[in-house]
Structure 1
Amino acid sequence: MSVQNVLQTIKENNVEFVDFRFVDLSGKAHHITLPAGEVDEDTFVNGVAFDGSSIPGFRGIEESDMVMMPDTEATYIDPFTSHVTMIVMCNIFTPEGERYERDPRSIAQKAEEYLQTTGIGTAAFFAPESEFFVFDDVRYESGQNTSFYSVDSEEAAWNTGRKEEGGNLGFKIRQKGGYVPVAPADTQQDLRSEICRLLEESGIRVERHHHEVATAGQAEINFRFDSLTKTADNLMKYKYIVHNTARQYGKVATFMPKPLFGDNGSGMHVHQSIFDGDTPLFYEKGGYANLSETALYYIGGILRHAPALIALTNPSSNSFKRLVPGYEAPVNLVFSKGNRSAAVRIPVAAVTPKGCRIEFRTPDSTANPYLAFAAMLLAGLDGIKNKIDPRALGYGPLDKNIYDLSDEEKKEIRSVPASLEEALDALEADCDFLLQGDVFTKEFIDNYLAFKRAEAKSVAIRVHPHEYSLYFDC
């Protein structure tokens, strides 16, 4: 869309305000809003200034001036504002007109540009399955002398005996019993349908929605794949619409990987493939799961670099409360067709040549999608360039339920890092694949490691409530 087309859309839709947005290191969106009358061609040429020193992980106060450069291909009308508002995604530039090397969205675009220079393919496509919980109440506190959290849901298994409902009507979701039940057990059909309606109005093609496995309102909505940066944009839009629709319904949505103890967590399984023009490069009839050698090498790159990747795809301490054996958590660094206990699954049901893809099941939605998708692509491309064969390295295929294997058999299977600190150590030791094509820079990775190590330490030094249960009477 040209600048003139955007300005015409503003006029035709009686837009009152234009909301310019960018994404920080953690994947959170920030915005500055201009009255529509202040937005003209110069706005798209010169950008919108902001203070980079106020954004964690960006710049120091001595070099704080930064510029948001609007992307005319990434606009939509905000469905939640009382005044008609157009949202415009932006890249971040320095005052000198250079791409800011810590801008996640620019890194995603550089990854796409790098793919085209390799001669391997012309486009990489991504489709995340970003799960979330919808609660009716959430409270938490972390201070010097207190630490707790409490969440509640009208669907939760622990509420079968609750009296406060004014007549308990039952039909609660059992623990690990929430996969696709109908109403009245599933109380959130209308909420998810409204989210889907708003997603489609905003330009996202929704494929399906359903209740997920856990009790207490776990949900999943799947939207159509797209190219790397566009999919990351769509995921930011998706999370914004989920959060705000839940708020309109008097509820609260969270993409936190493990908000509940003892039940399934929320993942972000990421489907991905590469095309050369209109030709799918991952399909070869008769191969294992109809995969081409290119696809197998891509898998090899993902699994070879998985410990380092996880620092970007699962970048929170809470991520590793989900990444434990059981609960369908994909902790095993193997690949397999149709097997949800493997880190890399190859979907085989109703798959066409153009739909042939691999699914990396380890990530979760604490990931910054621009960084995570870019890192996965670079790992896969490294596998293709260096012909990293996952079969030769002991990564499978393994077409068994891994959780049912004997202890001796499990010893042969490599696992994901056990903590955020371990993942960060792996990234520090194995980051060269991210430097290909100058997509990531060493300065960015060093800054990211320092940023995340400080976050991990802030959790590690705090007293955990369960420690009182274990040790107070020592």
Structure 2
Amino acid sequence: MSAAWAERAPKAARDYMDGRRLDEVECIVADIAGVARGKAMPASKFAHQDKFYLPNSIFLQTITGEWADNPSGAFTEPDMILTPDYSTATAAPWTADWTMQVIHDAMDQQGNPVPIAPRNVLKRVVGLYRERGWRPVVAPEMEFFLVARNVDPNQPIIPPMGRTGRRAAAKQAYSMSAVDEYGKVIDDIYDFAEAQGFEIDGILQEGGAGQIEINLNHGDPVALADEIFYFKRLIREAALRHDCFATFMAKPIEGEPGSAMHIHHSVVEIATGRNIFSDERGSETEAFLHFIGGMQRHLPAAVALLAPYVNSYRRYVPDFAAPINLEWGRDNRTTGLRVPISGPEARRIENRLAGMDCNPYLGIAASLACGYLGLLEQEGPRAECLGDAYMSRDELPYNLGDALDIMSESSAMRGVLGEEFAAVYESVKRNEYKEFLQVISPWEREHLLLNV
């Protein structure tokens, strides 16, 4: 690692490369799906190169590799200028050689942030808070499944084999023995995270077979979205070392719970460092209720970003621990918006609607956008739900097409996220939805082929 690198890279990156010769640097950005796009180059070349180029069409690529229509017209694929954000430099400890990863800022040729780049969308939303004298703070939770290797998409996903020689069992939430079943994967996750400088707040067994939850400490939204972006790859690589897959699909296994990315939110006043959700006496503020009210009013328009695939809506079914409602409540896990137990300084709101399949930059941006709009509108929420919110009325779209329709009609949400981004996102997702509707499922062949 060169001297210039050492000055600007985080301590964990410098420690990882201490006394070693860096071989390669992966220069990456997150696309609409949250997939890492970019190029790898020799470390010696990277040390003397302050930018590189990629076409902006990478943000028009669908999850299947097809290309969506460009809402702005001509498909000319102009180059973006990508410059390294050295604060994101981190190891790739699973590689055979000494490799670093660096997230890059995407700018157009006039030096402006590319408005359709997901990381820039989140920066835009955080900037709107900053203009009001606020600093948003988030704490994400990541749920995912470890599953047996699946090389035939026509076959169902099944749980992985544990150290006992038995398949991972469901309904073992918080069981330490269940976590021990795949302890070697967990060990590698910890080791990789330490090498990359990421702090894990806790790991626990969730309710599904082979389902794990990782909690992260609270902090800056962009930095934590970067961590989740990195964590998804880290976890997949740890699983592959032990002959299984890690999946972040919202609903990978029929009959099992889905995987969420719960997002805890608070807002700090920049001038004073005070959590605006608590007053001097430690009581809830009007701003706290306004934030909840904004989430209740605007989350339907954000669902297309929180649940971005057709599979996402398989998680939104009753009786599978999914909060399919816009109710709010204190310490009530049946509500979509939960207020956890905390002291006044840590008062926060947990959005339980986002799936783990969402792009972390876009999921956090959309969630923060709802709260921001609430703070501006200054309207409170409806009455707190004191009972079982699973029994509440349907308010959310339950398929991707309907979610996109609601998003397209919301001038408020599009205004916060950016009109150009919203148009591109809708184009990509409608293309994916159209592709899915052309696929005939096994259920249709089984029940309709000879019966209708």
- TM-score in terms of structure 2 length: 0.89
Within 5 A, what are the aligned runs for 1:113-152?
113-119=127-133, 121=134, 123-141=135-153, 148-152=154-158
Alignment partner, residue 434 of structure 2: 457
CA distance in 2, matches of 1:261, 1:285: 49
Alignment partner, residue 303 of structure 1: 296
CA distance in 2, matches of 1:286, 1:329: 35
Q: Are the aligned partners of 1:204 and 1:224 in contact in 2 as well (CA < 8 Å)?
A: no
Out of 175, 178, 195, the residue aligned to residue 181 of structure 1 is 175
Q: Are the aligned partners of 2:149 and 2:243 in contact in 1 as well (CA < 8 Å)?
A: no
How far apart are 1:434 and its partner, in Å? 3.9
Give the secondary structure class of the aligned counterpart of 1:295. helix
Give the secondary structure class of the aligned counterpart of 1:416. coil
Q: Are the aligned partners of 1:379 and 1:434 in contact in 2 as well (CA < 8 Å)?
A: no
C-alpha spacing 1:252/1:4, structure 2 compared with 1 (3 Å): closer
Give the unaligned 5+ runs of structure 2: 62-67
Give the unaligned 5+ runs of structure 1: 142-147, 157-164
How far apart are 1:429 and its partner, in Å? 1.1
Out of 225, 240, 263, the residue aligned to residue 233 of structure 2 is 240
Look up the equivalent residue of 2:230 and give its one-letter code.
K
CA distance in 1, matches of 2:187, 2:155: 29
Look up the equivalent residue of 2:307 and give its one-letter code.
N
Look up the equivalent residue of 1:194 and give its one-letter code.
D
Out of 281, 287, 290, the residue aligned to residue 294 of structure 1 is 287
Out of 328, 333, 336, the residue aligned to residue 335 of structure 1 is 328
Deviation string 1:310-367 (CA, Å, 9 cap, x unpaired) is 111111111100011111111011101111111100111xx22232111000001221
Give the secondary structure class of the aligned counterpart of 2:212. strand
How far apart are 1:228 and its partner, in Å? 1.1
Matched, 1:445 2:422: yes
Alignment partner, residue 5 of structure 1: 7
Q: Are the aligned partners of 2:93 and 2:192 in contact in 1 as well (CA < 8 Å)?
A: yes
Alignment partner, residue 399 of structure 2: 419
Look up the equivalent residue of 1:243 and give its one-letter code.
R
Alignment partner, residue 387 of structure 1: 378
Look up the equivalent residue of 2:205 and give its one-letter code.
H
CA distance in 2, matches of 1:12, 1:6: 17
CA distance in 2, matches of 1:54, 1:207: 34
Out of 202, 222, 226, the residue aligned to residue 208 of structure 1 is 202
Larger strand share, 1 or 2: 1
Matched, 1:48 2:57: no
C-alpha spacing 1:130/1:19, structure 2 compared with 1 (3 Å): same
Out of 369, 375, 399, the residue aligned to residue 366 of structure 2 is 375
Q: Are the aligned partners of 2:38 and 2:54 in contact in 1 as well (CA < 8 Å)?
A: no
CA distance in 2, matches of 1:52, 1:191: 36
How far apart are 1:178 and its partner, in Å? 2.1
CA distance in 2, matches of 1:271, 1:98: 31
Alignment partner, residue 94 of structure 1: 108
How far apart are 1:151 and its partner, in Å? 2.1
Deviation string 1:34-90 (CA, Å, 9 cap, x unpaired) is 21111236x23xx11123345534976523322211111111111111211111111
CA distance in 1, matches of 2:8, 2:307: 36
How far apart are 1:379 and its partner, in Å? 1.4
Q: Are the aligned partners of 1:186 and 1:211 in contact in 2 as well (CA < 8 Å)?
A: no
C-alpha spacing 1:87/1:310, structure 2 compared with 1 (3 Å): same
Give the secondary structure class of the aligned counterpart of 1:152. coil
* Higher deviation after alignment, 364-373 or 232-241: 364-373
Alignment partner, residue 384 of structure 2: 397
Q: Are the aligned partners of 2:179 and 2:204 in contact in 1 as well (CA < 8 Å)?
A: no
Q: Are the aligned partners of 1:173 and 1:185 in contact in 2 as well (CA < 8 Å)?
A: no
Deviation string 1:375-405 (CA, Å, 9 cap, x unpaired) is 22121111011112112xxxx31021234x5
Alignment partner, residue 32 of structure 1: 39
Alignment partner, residue 159 of structure 1: none
Alignment partner, residue 319 of structure 2: 326
CA distance in 1, matches of 2:249, 2:340: 26
CA distance in 2, matches of 1:390, 1:83: 54
Alignment partner, residue 312 of structure 1: 305
- The percentage of counterpart residues that share the same residue type is 26
How far apart are 1:233 and its partner, in Å? 0.2
Q: Are the aligned partners of 2:278 and 2:344 in contact in 1 as well (CA < 8 Å)?
A: yes
CA distance in 2, matches of 1:330, 1:2: 48
How far apart are 1:128 and its partner, in Å? 1.4
Alignment partner, residue 84 of structure 1: 98
Between the two proteins, the alignment pairs up a number of residues equal to 432
CA distance in 2, matches of 1:40, 1:429: 47
C-alpha spacing 1:55/1:330, structure 2 compared with 1 (3 Å): same
Q: Are the aligned partners of 1:130 and 1:222 in contact in 2 as well (CA < 8 Å)?
A: yes
How far apart are 1:285 and its partner, in Å? 8.0
Q: Are the aligned partners of 2:24 and 2:98 in contact in 1 as well (CA < 8 Å)?
A: yes
Following TM superposition, where does structure 1 have runs of at least 4 consecutive aligned residues deviating by more than 3 angstroms?
Answer: 1-4, 6-13, 51-61, 172-175, 284-287
* Higher deviation after alignment, 359-368 or 13-22: 13-22
Give the secondary structure class of the aligned counterpart of 2:176. coil
Matched, 1:252 2:242: no
Look up the equivalent residue of 1:271 and give its one-letter code.
H
Deviation string 1:221-241 (CA, Å, 9 cap, x unpaired) is 112122111011011111111
Give the secondary structure class of the aligned counterpart of 1:14. coil
- Alpha-carbon RMSD across the aligned residues, in angstroms, is 2.5
Matched, 1:283 2:278: yes
Look up the equivalent residue of 2:256 and give its one-letter code.
D
C-alpha spacing 1:40/1:61, structure 2 compared with 1 (3 Å): farther
Q: Are the aligned partners of 1:301 and 1:383 in contact in 2 as well (CA < 8 Å)?
A: yes
Matched, 1:362 2:362: no
Q: Are the aligned partners of 1:285 and 1:291 in contact in 2 as well (CA < 8 Å)?
A: no
Matched, 1:430 2:410: yes
CA distance in 2, matches of 1:55, 1:334: 34
Deviation string 1:148-168 (CA, Å, 9 cap, x unpaired) is 232233459xxxxxxxx9xx8
Alignment partner, residue 64 of structure 2: none
CA distance in 1, matches of 2:380, 2:415: 22
